[in-house]
Chains A and B, each alone.
Chain A
Amino acid sequence: MTDHKTSKEQKYDRQLRLWGDHGQEALENAHVCLINATATGTEILKNLVLPGIGAFTIVDGHKVSGEGVGNNFFLTSSSIGKNRAQAATELLQELNSDVSGNFVEESPDKLLDNDPEFFHRFSLVIGVQLPESTCLRLGSVLWDAGVTFLVCRTYGLIGYMRLIVKEHTVIESHPDNALEDLRLDQPFTELKHHIESYDLDSMAKKDHSHTPWIIVVAKYLEKWYSEHNSQLPKNYKEKEAFRQLIREGILTNENGKPEDEENFEEAIKNVNTALNPTKVPSATEDIFNAEQCENITSQSPSFWVMAQGVRDFVRNEGNGKLPVRGTIPDMIADSDKFIKLQNVYRDKAMKDAAVVSKHVEALLQSVGKPPESISEQKIKLFCKNAAFLRVVHCRSLAEEYSMDTFNKDEITSCMDSEMVLYLMLHSVDRFYQQHSRYPGVYNYQVEEDINNLKLCVNSLLQEYSLNVNVKDDYIHEFCRYGAAEPHTVAAFLGGSAAQEAIKIITHQFVPFNNTFLYNAMSQTSATFQL
């Protein structure tokens, strides 16, 4: 067992460095459903099987065709005529023996007719190359069941993804440029005491130059307060003056020249960010004020239970502040001083998290759930990331398609970018509805199809009263595509879609919201909210 664990650690070493062992655990507990094992479908699944999702199920009523073998790495010529779900499962399974592969030889429409609850069991459903009608039907079933739905489509040189999730919560959003949580403007008691234990004036040179910069800033801040009415340095000028104050504290040698004290240099460099006022970020505030946070029931996801726990902490023990994050950046200091300072923050973070735990515990009990249903570790992680929490709400497909709720502003304002491709995809779907095939699939009909597709474009624009212009070039181009699924475009989309799937499954990083379009001709892409 341990052996197996170590070999997994080795196999997954390079990705554990991105999403950690709990991210990996989430992947290993996930069951992903793929509808249609086309090239795009198997490429997505390949990129999920390799990093080790727990299980997949392919739903596909198609048989393997010669063309399919030509653009799909996971179908071989010997499988022609076999069911595509089965053939692809066999080969995808080979990629990773830790993953359980299953298949259902049935079309999604049949399943929706006979057993719509079939889809409720999955962590994520990925629908590939689906006709519009199936997409909308499935979308509504999954929306009601609260199952995340990722729609993917390769259409000639165009890639398309649409994410449909009512509510997706992210604890670890991994923000760029996050500020440290140092509380220098409002030091907590233990930090105050720790700062008081230092006396920069009576220190030996070695200690002076190995005092962590956080202490240095805190010390000079006291000095600053005494001269400035206890106000933080606010604007550039004041901060510059504050830097100068610190600079003057650098020891000098016998000739009066300043010594090399890199901890002071660090302090000066960090003044700007270190003095940022401690406050609850607006995104977190929004989460506190959300209805889901207010009304906790026994059905509430743990995210919201913990959110209320933290909210109660902020409103009571925290005096308006989030739990202390408990980490400090690396800095010039000797080990002893650094570790002591680190422990001050760490201990406070533990204490705060323990208080939050109490709130969470009480909350769980009040809705009749066992207190251990949310682990201590999870609460700690939540507290540590309290400033970075995110909730993503995507609109449903029904809202996107409905005359009353479609996002006209977004469409009309983005027509100079990839938005036109979105309208074209809608138009070919309309063509499909009328002709039961996509335009341009037969060479001899191309001319005729161009005219028909043009009619589809116009009726679409008219129906939605969209006063925009779609150039004929696009109509020609989309006819030329003949609904083909070129492998490299599928490979690109396979990478992108799997990446989003991993974000969704691990609840780390923020997924796109809600439509992604890729143009392989110009190598451009864009995201829209539709």
Chain B
Amino acid sequence: MEIIFPTMAQLVGPLRKELADSLSSCRVLVVGAGGIGCELLKNLVLTGFKNIEVIDLDTIDVSNLNRQFLFQKKHVGKSKAQVAKESVLRFCPSANITAYHDSIMNPDYNVEFFRNFQLVMNALDNRAARNHVNRMCLAADIPLIESGTAGYLGQVTVIKKGQTECYECQPKPTQKTFPGCTIRNTPSEPIHCIVWAKYLFNQLFGEEDADQEVSPDTADPEVAWNPADAAARATASNKDGDIKRVSTKEWARSTGYDPVKLFNKLFKDDIMYLLTMDKLWKKRKAPLPLDWTEIHQLESSQEEAFGSGLKDQQVLGVQGYAQLFHRSVKTLRSQLIEKGEGAELVWDKDDPPAMDFVTAAANLRMNVFSMNMKSRFDVKSMAGNIIPAIATTNAVIAGLIVLEALKTLNSDFDQCRTIFLNKQPNPRKKLLVPCALDPPNPNCFVCASKPEVTVKLNVHKTIVQALQDKILKEKLGMVAPDVQIEDGKGTILISSEEGETEANNNKFLSDFGIRNGSRLQADDFLQDYTLLVNLIHSEELEKDVEFEVVGDAPDKAPAPNVPEEGKNIANGNKDSAQPSTSSKAAAEDDDVLIVDSDEEPSSSTMETSPESSNRKRKHHDADTDDAASKRKRLDQQPADDDEDIIALD
């Protein structure tokens, strides 16, 4: 039976015939098969697109089912890309769909691969992958449609090499990380305790990571070295294994993961040890250690649960969380034993015992540091960087994407728009705010013809490994950089071939003669991207700042005591505040674009467009005070209680 594709093709401008033909012959790539991806695949086949490839490394989770309509309960655990393809084919058997259960950052998907397509559409949830696809499309000179949603908000934009801004033309505020000593010694916000609890999970049950220490940090720059202190600390730490030398995991294992011993070490002994660093507590309120036996002697009258509604939304008391800690450690211990020798658990917000553990440990630590405790529901939002997501917004955005796609295929780039979807009509009665696309930023460190960037760092303190991992990969979005020094000799500093330059990893940059004004050439063959890095040596970087990209969006240094709820959680939403899932970070959340929906309006697109007053004001607020985060908080406010907030920047 021949399927008649109706009238979309007739409708789009004078090129209707050519466009209609091109729809059935052109090949498109959809990156991501989540909330937007599902809607998009449906819209594409029903608009007449025939040759579609879709890639997603994620598998299906129960919490996807409220919007990712190509999946059903029986598909939980299976590949999103594969199931999406099968579901679409059931409805539209004539489509030609290829599915990849893989990461788009895998080197197999090189520039040649991208050149197979007339158009690439992102339906992604994280900035690392968005950066990467942006570069691949620039390198292959293939138009890209970028999109994202968060709760009721959404956005679509078109990127075409040389004609429009690329995804990275406007600096985006860096995703916030927390200084190690804030996490280990002086947490001041709930998110610090939640990050600590996630570190702790990995230290105890998962993959140990030296960057995720949870025990007191004696090298805290705030604690001036003083022999008497050291002696006091030595006595304090002798009780239950030396904190310095035995790893948390080894120690936990030696006790057989005894929940009570773990509890007393984490919430009593370690805290007493912290108390010996008395300089820390001169201006701060000192932590109050918890003792397992003592808290169980407390009157349980104080243990009345706060909050109403769902069980998850109630805040238990200290006793309740101590019990939850006890239970979850036991469950995780048996999971670990079941998995056999040397096994590791991976933290997942949707795994109940893992979530219970983090809820309990984080709340106990909040109590120790005199913070208001949080419900499991809230902790989950913060720990999992959960952004609310609903079918309706994704449907609207996916509809807009295809309309932009048709204009793109018609090469009508001047007709293409960046479109913002508001929660409700703005004062000018607009639900949708379309803005003309901006031309490329000539100084963009990605799409300029000779990309350059200037980085300020301390050459005596920065090691090659940090240059590679933190600056080139994490900050500048490269996947496998090769770096040579422009010193006339072409010294190779970093090679993407395994085993070639590992010996350099722990050396300081100054060991290679790198100094103020040195230039590095960084190449990423996969991204077909060469970047000239100018180095400025500086001894005066702020505390806990390893480097600064000059001209970058003004990073507010992580303020130690930011009080606003919205802001706290906003921190929690950044990818890098969730370090325990590094291997899975790219797939961490759903179809959501964290960074764009509220940050991109700051781009010059918005400055020049008369339509943008609403957005602009929003951004302006963000600069001046916290109205913006407040507003977001209200946007997202679940009806039940003012404290259930998920901010989204």
Interfacial residues, chain A to chain B (CB-CB below 8 A): 7, 9-23, 39, 43, 46-47, 50-52, 66-67, 69-74, 76-77, 80, 91, 94-97, 156-157, 172, 174-178, 206, 209-210, 259-260, 262, 266, 269, 327, 329-332, 334-336, 338-339, 377, 480-482, 484-496, 498-499, 502, 508-510, 512, 516, 518, 520, 522-528
**Pairwise interchain contact B7-A484, C-beta atoms closer than 8 A:** yes
Q: Give B401's nearest chain A residue, CB to CB.
A: A488
Q: Are A95 and B11 also in contact (CB < 8 A) when A14-B390, A70-B3 are? A: no
Q: Are A525 and B399 also in contact (CB < 8 A) when A10-B62, A206-B285, A210-B285 are? A: no
Q: Are A526 and B392 also in contact (CB < 8 A) when A17-B646, A330-B372, A332-B563 are? A: no
- Which stretch from B63-71, B129-137, B168-176 is at the chain A interface? B63-71
B1 within 8 A of A: yes
Q: Which of A71, A80, A206, A512 has the most CB of B within 10 A?
A: A71
**Pairwise interchain contact B400-A94, C-beta atoms closer than 8 A:** no
- Rounded to whole Å, the gap between the CB of B441 and the closest CB of chain A is 24
**Pairwise interchain contact B11-A11, C-beta atoms closer than 8 A:** no
**Pairwise interchain contact B39-A491, C-beta atoms closer than 8 A:** yes
Q: Are A329 and B564 also in contact (CB < 8 A) when A21-B640, A523-B432 are? A: yes
**Pairwise interchain contact B389-A14, C-beta atoms closer than 8 A:** yes
- 8 Å CB contact of B11 from A47, A209, A484, A491: A484
- Rounded to whole Å, the gap between the CB of B260 and the closest CB of chain A is 24
Q: How far is the CA of A218 from the CA of B72 in the complex (A)?
A: 55
Q: How far is the CA of A512 from the CA of B634 in the complex (A)?
A: 19
Q: Give A16's nearest chain B residue, CB to CB.
A: B638
Chain A residues within an 8 Å CB radius of B643 = 330
6 intermolecular pairs with C-beta atoms under 8 Å apart: A22-B639, A95-B72, A157-B11, A174-B637, A330-B564, A502-B392
- Rounded to whole Å, the gap between the CB of A299 and the closest CB of chain B is 27
Q: Which of B564, B565, B637 has the most CB of A within 10 A?
A: B637
Q: Give A499's nearest chain B residue, CB to CB.
A: B392
Q: How far is the CA of A528 from the CA of B35 in the complex (A)?
A: 31
B395 within 8 A of A: yes
**Pairwise interchain contact A332-B372, C-beta atoms closer than 8 A:** no
The secondary structure that dominates the B interface is: loop
Chain A residues within an 8 Å CB radius of B425 = 512, 525, 527
- Rounded to whole Å, the gap between the CB of A264 and the closest CB of chain B is 12
**Pairwise interchain contact B431-A525, C-beta atoms closer than 8 A:** yes
Chain A residues within an 8 Å CB radius of B47 = 486-488
B27 within 8 A of A: no
**CB within 8 Å: A-B pair count:** 259
B43 within 8 A of A: yes
- Rounded to whole Å, the gap between the CB of A84 and the closest CB of chain B is 15
**Pairwise interchain contact B1-A66, C-beta atoms closer than 8 A:** yes
Q: Give A13's nearest chain B residue, CB to CB.
A: B63
Cβ proximity bits B629-649 to A, threshold 8 Å, 1 near / 0 not? 011001111111111101000
Please list the 5 inter-chain residue pairs (A to B) with the smallest Cβ-Cβ separation, ordered nearest first: A495-B395, A492-B399, A484-B7, A495-B396, A487-B46
Cβ proximity bits B215-256 to A, threshold 8 Å, 1 near / 0 not? 000000000000000000000000000000000000000000
**Pairwise interchain contact B429-A527, C-beta atoms closer than 8 A:** yes
- Rounded to whole Å, the gap between the CB of B303 and the closest CB of chain A is 14
How big is chain B's contact interface, by range? 35 or more
- 8 Å CB contact of B3 from A12, A69, A269, A494: A69
B530 within 8 A of A: no
Chain A residues within an 8 Å CB radius of B399 = 488-495
Q: How far is the CA of A229 from the CA of B396 in the complex (A)?
A: 57
Q: Which of B7, B10, B565, B630 has the most CB of A within 10 A?
A: B7
Q: How far is the CA of A10 from the CA of B312 in the complex (A)?
A: 11
In chain B, positions 419-437 with a C-beta closer than 8 Å to chain A are 419, 423-425, 429-432, 434
Chain A residues within an 8 Å CB radius of B468 = none
Chain B residues within an 8 Å CB radius of A516 = 431
- 8 Å CB contact of B391 from A39, A47, A492: A47
Chain A residues within an 8 Å CB radius of B390 = 14-15, 18, 51
Q: Are A492 and B386 also in contact (CB < 8 A) when A70-B6, A330-B565 are? A: no
**Pairwise interchain contact A14-B10, C-beta atoms closer than 8 A:** no
Q: Which of B91, B370, B639 has the most CB of A within 10 A?
A: B639
B388 within 8 A of A: yes
Q: How far is the CA of A481 from the CA of B625 in the complex (A)?
A: 49
**Pairwise interchain contact B564-A485, C-beta atoms closer than 8 A:** no
Chain B residues within an 8 Å CB radius of A327 = 641-642
B455 within 8 A of A: no
Q: How far is the CA of A39 from the CA of B7 in the complex (A)?
A: 13
Chain B residues within an 8 Å CB radius of A15 = 66-67, 388-390
Q: How far is the CA of A266 from the CA of B400 in the complex (A)?
A: 42
- 8 Å CB contact of A46 from B46, B309, B386, B391: B391
**Pairwise interchain contact A518-B367, C-beta atoms closer than 8 A:** no
B4 within 8 A of A: yes
Q: How far is the CA of A18 from the CA of B423 in the complex (A)?
A: 12
B151 within 8 A of A: yes
B394 within 8 A of A: yes
Q: How far is the CA of A210 from the CA of B402 in the complex (A)?
A: 54
